[in-house]
Structure 1
Amino acid sequence: MAKRCPIMGKALAVQSARNGLGSARAYGMGKAKLHTGSVKEAQAVDASVGTLFSAEKKAKAAAAAATANATATATPNCIPAHNPIHPNYEGFYAAELDKKHKDKSYRYFNNINRLAKEFPRAHMSAKDERVTVWCSNDYLGMGRNPHVLRTMHETLEMYGAGAGGTRNISGHNQHALALEATIAKLHAKESALVFSSCYVANDATLATLGSKMPNCVFLSDSSNHASMIQGIRHSGAKKLVFKHNDIADLEAKLASLPPEVPKIIAFESVYSMCGSIGPIAEICDLADKYGALTFLDEVHAVGMYGPHGAGVAEHLDFDAHRAGCPEGTIMDRVDIITGTLGKAYGCVGGYIAGSARMVDMIRSLAPGFIFTTSLPPATMAGAKTAIEHQMGHPTDRRLQQLHTRSVKAALTARDIPVLPNPSHIIPVLVGNAELAKQASDFLLSDHKIYVQAINYPTVPVGQERLRFTPTPGHTAELQEDLVSAVEEVWGKLGLKRTSEWRDQGGFLGVGVEGGNDVEPLWTDTQLSLGVNEGEGGVGEMRTGSLVGQEKDLDELRHHRGSGARVVGVLA
Structure 2
Amino acid sequence: MAFEHITEAINEMKEQGTFRKLVPLESAQGNEVTIDGKSLVQLSSNNYLGLANHPRLKQAAIEAVEQYGAGTGSVRTIAGTFEMHEAFERELAEFKHTEASLVFQSGFATNLGVLSALLGPEDVVISDALNHASIIDGIRLTKAARRIYKHVDLEDLEKALKETQDYRTRLVVTDGVFSMDGNIAPLPAIVELAEKYDAAVMVDDAHASGVLGKNGRGTVNHFGLDGRVALQVGTLSKAIGVLGGYVACSQDVRDYLIHKGRPFLFSTSHPPAVVAANREAIRVMKEEEELFDKLWANTEFFKNGLRDLGFDIGHATTPITPVMLGEETLAHTFSDKLKDHGVFAQSIAFPTVERGKARIRTIVTAEHTRDDLERALEAFKTVAEELNVTLHA
Equivalent pair of 1:266/1:295 in contact (CA under 8 Å): yes
Q: How much has 1:259 moved relative to structure 2? A: 4.2
Q: How much has 1:108 moved relative to structure 2? A: 2.2
Q: 2:203, 2:16 → 1: CA distance?
A: 34
> Unpaired segments of 5 or more residues in structure 2?
none
- Where do 1:123-134 residues align within 5 Å? 123-126=34-37, 129-134=38-43
Q: How much has 1:92 moved relative to structure 2? A: 2.2
Specify the alignment match of 1:473 in structure 2: 367
Q: 2:135, 2:275 → 1: CA distance?
A: 24
- Partner AA of 2:309 in structure 1: R
- Residue 50 of structure 2 corresponds to residue 98 of structure 1: no
Matching residue within 292, 300, 304 for 1:409: 304
Tell me the number of residue pairs that the alignment of Structure 1 and Structure 2 aligns. 393
Using CA pairs below 8 Å that are at least 6 residues apart, which structure has the higher relative contact order?
A: 2
- Residue 287 of structure 2 corresponds to residue 392 of structure 1: yes
Q: 1:460, 1:101 → 2: CA distance?
A: 19
Equivalent pair of 2:207/2:239 in contact (CA under 8 Å): yes
Equivalent pair of 2:215/2:292 in contact (CA under 8 Å): no
Equivalent pair of 1:259/1:291 in contact (CA under 8 Å): no
Closer, same or farther: CA 437–260 of 1 in aligned 2, 3 Å:
closer
- Residue 65 of structure 2 corresponds to residue 156 of structure 1: yes
1:478-504 residue CA offsets vs partner (Å, 9 max, x unmatched): 1111111100001111123236xxxxx
Q: Secondary structure at the match of 2:317?
A: coil
> Unpaired segments of 5 or more residues in structure 1?
1-87, 318-329, 500-571
Q: 1:361, 1:300 → 2: CA distance?
A: 26
Equivalent pair of 1:167/1:370 in contact (CA under 8 Å): yes
Q: Secondary structure at the match of 2:378?
A: helix
Q: 1:90, 1:421 → 2: CA distance?
A: 41
Equivalent pair of 1:204/1:231 in contact (CA under 8 Å): yes
Specify the alignment match of 1:296 in structure 2: 203
- Partner AA of 1:174 in structure 2: E
Closer, same or farther: CA 313–91 of 1 in aligned 2, 3 Å:
same
- Where do 1:344-493 residues align within 5 Å? 344-444=239-339, 446-493=340-387
Specify the alignment match of 2:46 in structure 1: 137
1:286-312 residue CA offsets vs partner (Å, 9 max, x unmatched): 111111111110110111112221112
Equivalent pair of 1:307/1:394 in contact (CA under 8 Å): no
Equivalent pair of 2:236/2:278 in contact (CA under 8 Å): yes
Specify the alignment match of 2:112 in structure 1: 203
Matching residue within 28, 32, 35 for 1:115: 28
Closer, same or farther: CA 465–260 of 1 in aligned 2, 3 Å:
closer
Matching residue within 77, 92, 96 for 1:187: 96
Equivalent pair of 1:428/1:467 in contact (CA under 8 Å): yes
1:92-113 residue CA offsets vs partner (Å, 9 max, x unmatched): 2202223433444323221223
1:54-85 residue CA offsets vs partner (Å, 9 max, x unmatched): xxxxxxxxxxxxxxxxxxxxxxxxxxxxxxxx
- Partner AA of 2:287 in structure 1: G
Matching residue within 194, 213, 217 for 1:306: 213
Q: 2:116, 2:26 → 1: CA distance?
A: 35
Equivalent pair of 1:430/1:496 in contact (CA under 8 Å): no
- Partner AA of 2:97 in structure 1: A
Equivalent pair of 1:142/1:148 in contact (CA under 8 Å): yes
Specify the alignment match of 1:562 in structure 2: none
Equivalent pair of 2:179/2:207 in contact (CA under 8 Å): yes
Specify the alignment match of 1:274 in structure 2: 181
Q: 2:287, 2:201 → 1: CA distance?
A: 28
Q: 1:104, 1:203 → 2: CA distance?
A: 32
- Partner AA of 1:380 in structure 2: V
Q: 1:93, 1:339 → 2: CA distance?
A: 33
Residues 156-165 or 199-208, more deviating: 156-165
Q: Secondary structure at the match of 2:329?
A: helix
Equivalent pair of 2:241/2:281 in contact (CA under 8 Å): yes
Q: 2:81, 2:11 → 1: CA distance?
A: 45
- Partner AA of 2:92 in structure 1: I
Equivalent pair of 1:166/1:374 in contact (CA under 8 Å): yes
Q: Secondary structure at the match of 2:49?
A: coil
Q: 2:281, 2:306 → 1: CA distance?
A: 32
Q: 2:109, 2:385 → 1: CA distance?
A: 42
Equivalent pair of 2:240/2:278 in contact (CA under 8 Å): yes
Equivalent pair of 1:195/1:351 in contact (CA under 8 Å): yes
Question: Considering only aligned residues, what root-mean-square deviation do their CA atoms show, in Å?
Answer: 1.4
Q: How much has 1:426 moved relative to structure 2? A: 1.1
1:257-285 residue CA offsets vs partner (Å, 9 max, x unmatched): 23453211010110011011111111111
- Where do 1:17-28 residues align within 5 Å? none
State the structure with more CA Rg. 1
Q: Secondary structure at the match of 1:430?
A: strand
Q: Secondary structure at the match of 1:165?
A: coil
Specify the alignment match of 1:522 in structure 2: none
